[in-house]
Amino acid sequence: MEPTARSAGESGDQRRPRALAFLRSPRWVIGHVVALVAVIAFANLGVWQLRRLDERRAYNALLTERLSAQPVPLEELDATLAQGEQAVAYRRVTVSGAYDAGGEVLLSTRSRDGVPGHHVLTPLVAASGGTVVVDRGWIPLDWGGQPPVAQAPPPEGEVTVEGVLFPPRQARRSGTLDGDPEPLEFMSDVDLGRYAAVTDGAMYPLYVLAQEQRPGQPGGFPAFGDLPVLDEGNHASYAGQWFIFATVVAVGYPILLWRTWRP
């Protein structure tokens, strides 16, 4: 009986190594690769969200610093502008001059308190020279059937605008409200390159989001645009979710293998 017992023991010892052979089957090899790729991808997405969070915090800190400063005349930033647009972005400025109502463009569409509308972009011919685009603020989409640009014409004569400089963005859409090729009537973003193509004279490379105007706008419209909300968004929670997904795969897949292998 002893040889029989020894043979049975050897058979049991050999069963486990042979059972591990399933790890090398094509189906499980694919599973190993998918699990590894998933862990790496989820972890990288979590790190990416943390980088986005750092960028958002840096952006908030820059805006807080620059918006807390006193406004300065736009022309005083010329030397700083030579260092690049970001050197003057989000600075509070004042600029005086006369609006060019014929060059108005609608920033479409923008809602306010749930009401659809537009922002009105109007070139301001600065007294110090050159032209700067001013976002004069928001008007409702439908105002008694009047054309949008006729709802709140800019004041005539010299005005002084106090606002914040913002860098431009390339518009995804631009054109005319009725489909004609000319003139430019609306943009989806403040695209100063597109704007400059239809405007005479040198154009300042950033636009002004108006916060105050003297003389004021009669009738209450356009309503001055809001400054960006300084929050951190959902980047931290998104990062946590991606790291949780990576942990679930990193821990769960070995458990699955163990349960499959266990005799």
Beta carbons within 10 angstroms of residue 103's beta carbon? 19
10 Å CB burial of residue 245 (0-12, 13-18, 19+) is middle
Q: Which residue has the higher pLDDT, 108 or 215?
A: 215
Which residues, including other chains, have CB under 8 Å from residue 135's CB and lie 6 or more apart? 107, 119, 120, 121, 163, 166, 190, 207, 208, 209, 210, 225
Q: What is the pLDDT of residue 258?
A: 80
Angle, alpha carbons 97-222-133 (nearest 5°): 40
Tens of pLDDT, residue by residue over 199-248, are: 766 789 999 999 999 998 877 789 999 888 888 889 999 999 999 999 99
In one letter, which amino acid is 234? N
Q: Please check whether residue 218 is in contact with residue 136, taking contact to mean a CB–CB distance below 8 angstroms.
A: no
Q: What is the pLDDT of residue 72?
A: 95
pTM: 0.75
User: What SS3 state is found at 247?
Assistant: helix
10 Å CB burial of residue 133 (0-12, 13-18, 19+) is buried
Tens of pLDDT, residue by residue over 121-134, are: 999 999 888 899 99
Q: 250 falls in which pLDDT band (50, 70, 90)?
A: very high
